[in-house]
Amino acid sequence: MSFLDEAQDFLKKKQSQQTPEASDFLETPESRSAFEKELRDLYENATWNEINKAIDWGMEVMEKPYNKKLFLQKIRVKLED
């Protein structure tokens, strides 16, 4: 196997590992409600309305597929006191 073949195999493995996490985040209503509950636990003083507005704003600002870590960093400003 040549170096190029090994590199292509490595990239395919990396992409297959990253795709399920990225594709599942905020794609279904169930994943959104789970994320809302997670944010409620993180930001206890935030109301459900504030959480939903922050998620909607984050979805407008960022491109799909959403990276959960970057998404949290982006909406943190909206949810912190």
Question: 25 by DSSP, 3-state: which?
Answer: coil
Q: What is the pTM of this model?
A: 0.68
Give 80's pLDDT tier (boundaries 50, 70, 90): confident
- Looking at 1-10, 51-60, 69-78, which range is the least confident one? 1-10
Residues 17-35, mean pLDDT to the nearest whole number:
73
Which of the two residues, 59 and 17, has the higher pLDDT score? Answer: 59
The confidence score (pLDDT) of residue 16 equals 67
Tens digits of residue pLDDT in 28-69: 889 899 999 999 999 988 999 999 999 999 999 988 888 889
CB atoms within 10 A of CB 8: 12
Give the closest residue to 79 by CA, choosing from 66, 62, 52.
52
